[in-house]
Amino acid sequence: MEEKSKITPKDVLSFWFEQTKEEQWFKKDDEFDRQLTVKFAELHEEIISDKRNVWMNDANGCLALILVLDQFSRNMFRNTAKAFKSDKFSLKIAKLAIENGFDKKVKQGRQFFYMPFMHSESIKEQEKCVELFTQLAKDEGKDIDSVIDYAVQHRHIIRKFQRFPHRNEILKRESTFSEKEFLKENTGF
């Protein structure tokens, strides 16, 4: 089947890194979610239907795929199970990209190659996430504590619960007593 969307990896990267402010990336904003949906929902469907595999051949293509599958999906499908549906696919792409050294070839956005590890409910992937963010901090000369803080928080939750309790309701999973207690103080990320 042919690609419908004419969006390129450069378009995705330009939108995220040039047209969007960093403070928009991780906060809830209905208008921003709507913009992402209008611009990228069709592309998201093409990617999960394996119509953009050619993008996996280089660093910018992989980064664009990961952004759409791992970051944009959380905005476009907020508060639905579909927000997490492409997590395994984005993790697969992230692993391939890292194996090929693509994460070290981009000018900006290296941290987004590691976000699929942070979003995984596997302790193995969480350990890898902390390792990757620690290395990123060393490579870029950033304060390690500030760079890996979220990675460590995510890993702690997975160590404790083996899943992210704040996803339970959306994914129709029954919360345990300890998860319910945790959620009283922690609403999620």
List the single range of 89-98, 135-144, 146-155, 158-167 with lowest mean pLDDT.
135-144
Residue 50 inside a domain? The answer is: yes
How many residues does the structure list for the chain? Answer: 189
Instruction: Name the residue range of residue 168's domain.
Output: 120-189
Name the residue type at position 166.
H
Average pLDDT over residues 90-98: 98
Exposed, middle or buried: residue 44 (CB in 10 Å: 0-12, 13-18, 19+)?
buried
Average pLDDT over residues 92-111: 96
Read off the pLDDT of residues 16-31 as tens digits, 9 standing for 90 and up: 999 999 889 988 999 9
Residue 31 inside a domain? The answer is: yes
Name the residue type at position 165.
P
Residue 5 confidence (pLDDT):
67
Residues 20 and 88 in one domain: yes
* CATH number of the domain enclosing 148: 1.25.40.10
Average pLDDT over residues 38-46: 96
Residue 141 confidence (pLDDT):
77
Give the rounded distance of the alpha carbon of 86 from its chain centre: 9
Give the total number of structural domains in the chain: 2
Residue 114 inside a domain? The answer is: no
Read off the pLDDT of residues 59-86 as tens digits, 9 standing for 90 and up: 999 999 999 999 999 999 999 999 999 9
The closest alpha carbon to 158, from 119, 184, 132, 185, belongs to: 119
Residue 115 inside a domain? The answer is: no
The DSSP line for 125-157 is HHHHHHHHHHHHHHHHT--HHHHHHHHHHHHHH
